[in-house]
Amino acid sequence: MPIGSGIRAFAITEQVDETPTIRTVRLDGSMHAQPGQFVMVWVPGKDEFPMSISYPGERFGITYKVVGEGTRHLSIMKPGERIGIRGPYGKGYSIEGRNILIVAGGTGMAALAPMVEQAVASGASVDVVLGARTQSELLLRKRCERSGATLHITTDDGSDGSKGFTTDKARVLLEVGVYDMMYACGPERMIVGLLQLSRTTGVPMQASLERYMKCGIGICDSCAIDGKHVCVDGPVFSHEVLSKLSELGRTRMSPSGGRIPID
Ligand SMILES: Cc1cc2nc3c(=O)[nH]c(=O)nc-3n(C[C@H](O)[C@H](O)[C@H](O)COP(=O)(O)OP(=O)(O)OC[C@H]3O[C@@H](n4cnc5c(N)ncnc54)[C@H](O)[C@@H]3O)c2cc1C
């Protein structure tokens, strides 16, 4: 139901615990979007924030980690309660090639899960590296296994799959395999590591970036990085663009507008 300024109201149908810290909220309407596009989620009376569309189509959904007030309030909302949604916004991933490597770190799998399914459906051979700090935080693992992609697990603490980072596993796969394109979403230090691998192996890459966002439509400048607006020029960027971003992996804008180092 439209409620002004392009915001539509959706009732929550269910909240599903994906990991001890990450939940999926399913909504009573549809959202058709490219993998990697996002929506602005308005939690009435609290906050509005960007979220990737982890379940596009009917009964669409977003998969979120509780970070601050907005996501905390969303996490305690019950079926039947309503939130506001604007979007879909931004440029998503474009599926290219027959041999694809997808690298997801932490909540990055929320943006990449529809990409995995569409890439497999396109007939491509798909390797997925899914990484998390520990086994219980591996996100959407079963969905990924069901998709028909080949899954490679990494955990920082070695509790499942290979001990180490997603970039370590991606390096091994890139050394032995032949890939047409690499797709990534996750912590910015992971994106920086993969960009280096893209340079050395010559495998092109598309990666989604996260920046603090207020408007989502290219007006407020909150998400600017080297003159690009993550909300409209991204959030998915090609390796050519990523290579020119001097702020990548170094600084981001804080909610108050100052530059702060990336963790
Ligand atoms: C395009 C895009 C897609 C995203 N998709 C997802 C997703 O699918 N799942 C998910 O869990 N999260 C996703 N995020 C991150 C999510 O938007 C933030 O976690 C959310 O805004 C936090 O809102 P809050 O009101 O709970 O916290 P706030 O109170 O607004 O913030 C708490 C703290 O987190 C920092 N912060 C907030 N937003 C960001 C950001 N975008 N980048 C860096 N730091 C931030 C703030 O500076 C503050 O320190 C996405 C971000 C972008 C830009």
Whether the CB of 213 sits within 6 Å of ligand 1: yes
| Domains with residue ranges and CATH for the chain | 8-89 (2.40.30.10), 99-208 (3.40.50.80)
Sheet containing strand 99-105, edge to edge, reads 162-163, 150-155, 125-132, 99-105, 181-185, 205-208, 236-238
Strands (E), 18-56: 22-27, 38-43, 47-52
pLDDT of residue 254: 76
Q: Is the CB of 212 under 6 A from ligand 1?
A: yes
Q: Give the C-alpha distances (Å, rounded to integers) separating 164 from 21, 145, 180.
A: 21, 21, 25
Q: Is 63 in the pocket of ligand 1 (CB under 6 A)?
A: yes
Q: What pLDDT, on the 0 to 100 scale, is given for residue 2?
A: 52
Residue 241 Cβ contacting ligand 1 at under 6 Å: no
> Does pLDDT of 5 surpass 70?
no
**pLDDT digits 0-9 by tens, 189-245:** 999 999 999 999 999 999 999 999 999 999 998 899 999 999 999 999 999 999 999
Considering only CA atoms, which residue is closest to atom 9 of ligand 1?
64
Q: What is the structure's pLDDT at 260?
A: 81
SS3 of 134, please?
A: coil
In three-state secondary structure terms, 54 is: coil
126 lines ligand 1 (CB under 6 A): no
Residues 41-73 have pLDDT tens digits of: 999 999 999 999 999 999 999 999 999 999 999
Nearest atom within ligand 1 for CA of residue 70 = 25
Q: Is the CB of 106 under 6 A from ligand 1?
A: no
Ligand 1 atom having least distance to the Cα of 234? 1
More confident residue, 4 or 52: 52
To which residue do tokens 């309503």 refer? 82
Task: State the pLDDT at residue 3.
Answer: 52
CA of 114 to the centre of ligand 1 (A): 20
Q: Residue of the nearest CA to atom 17 in ligand 1?
A: 50
Our answer on whether the CB atom of 107 is closer than 6 Å to any ligand 1 atom is yes
- Report pLDDT for 257: 75
**CA 84 – ligand 1 centroid, Å:** 17
Residue 253 confidence (pLDDT) = 76
**Which of 39, 41, 210, 213 maximizes ligand 1 atoms within 8 Å of its Cβ, making it the mutation to test the pocket?**
210
For the chain, helix, strand, coil in percent to 5 are 25, 35, 40
What is the bridge-based pairing of β-strands 61-65 and 99-105?
Answer: unpaired
The answer to whether residue 4 scores a pLDDT higher than 90 is no
Residue with the smallest CA separation from ligand 1 atom 50 is 51
From the CA atom positions of the chain, what is the Rg in Å?
Answer: 18
**Bridge pairing between strands 150-155 and 125-132:** parallel
Ligand 1 proximity of 35 Cβ (cutoff 6 Å):
no
- Tally Cβ neighbours within 10 Å of residue 178: 9
pTM of the predicted model as reported, rounded to 2 decimal places: 0.94
Atom of ligand 1 nearest to the CA of 90: 1
